[in-house]
Amino acid sequence: MSDVLLIVEDEKDMQELMRKYIEKAGLDLEIYSAYSGEEGVNKYRELMEKGKKPGLVIMDLKMPGIDGVETTKRIMKVDKNATIYGFTAFFDTDWSERLLKAGAKKIIPRYLGFQGLVKELKAFFGK
Partner 1 sequence: MPFHFIPFIFIPVLLIFVVDRRWELYKQFFEESPVGITVTEENGIISFANKMFSNICGYSMSEIIGEHFTKFVAPEDREMMENFHERRMRGEDVPEEYEYRCLRKDGEIRHVKIKIIKLPEKRTLSCKIDITMEKEMQELFERIAETALVAIFIYQGGHIVYMNKFAREITGYTMEELRKIPYWELVAEEYREAVKKRGQRRERGNDVKPMMYEIPFYTKDGKKRWALFSFNTIIYKGKPAGIGTAVDITEIKEMEREMEKSEEKYRMLVELSQEGICMDDEEGKIVFMNDAFASCLGYKKEEIVGKRVEDFVYPEDLKKLEREEERRRKGKKGKYEIRFIARNGEVKTFIVSSTPLYKDGKFIGSLSVNLDITERKKAEERIIESESLYRAITEYSPNGIFIVQNGRFVFVNSKFLNLLGRNGESVSTIDYKSLIHPDDREKILNIFREAKKMEEVATPEFRFVAGEKTRWGIINGAIIDYKGEDAFLGVLTDITEIKEIHEKEKKFIERVSHYFFNPICIAKGYIHLAKEKMLSEEDVIMLEKANLAIERVENVVKNIVREGEIHE
Q: What residues line the site for partner 1 (CB under 8 A)? A: 11, 13-14, 17, 20-21, 24, 62, 89-95, 110-111, 113-115
Q: Least distance to partner 1 from the beta carbon of 104, Å?
A: 17
Q: Least distance to partner 1 from the beta carbon of 84, Å?
A: 19
With respect to partner 1, which residue has the nearer C-beta, 37 or 55? Answer: 37
- CA 56 – CA 53 distance, rounded (Å): 9
Asked if 61 contacts 84 with a C-beta cutoff of 8 angstroms, the reply is no
Q: Within 10 A of 2 (CB to CB), how many other CB atoms are there?
A: 14
Q: Least distance to partner 1 from the beta carbon of 1, Å?
A: 26
- CA 52 – CA 14 distance, rounded (Å): 23
With respect to partner 1, which residue has the nearer C-beta, 28 or 94? Answer: 94
Farthest-apart Cα atoms in the chain, separation: 37
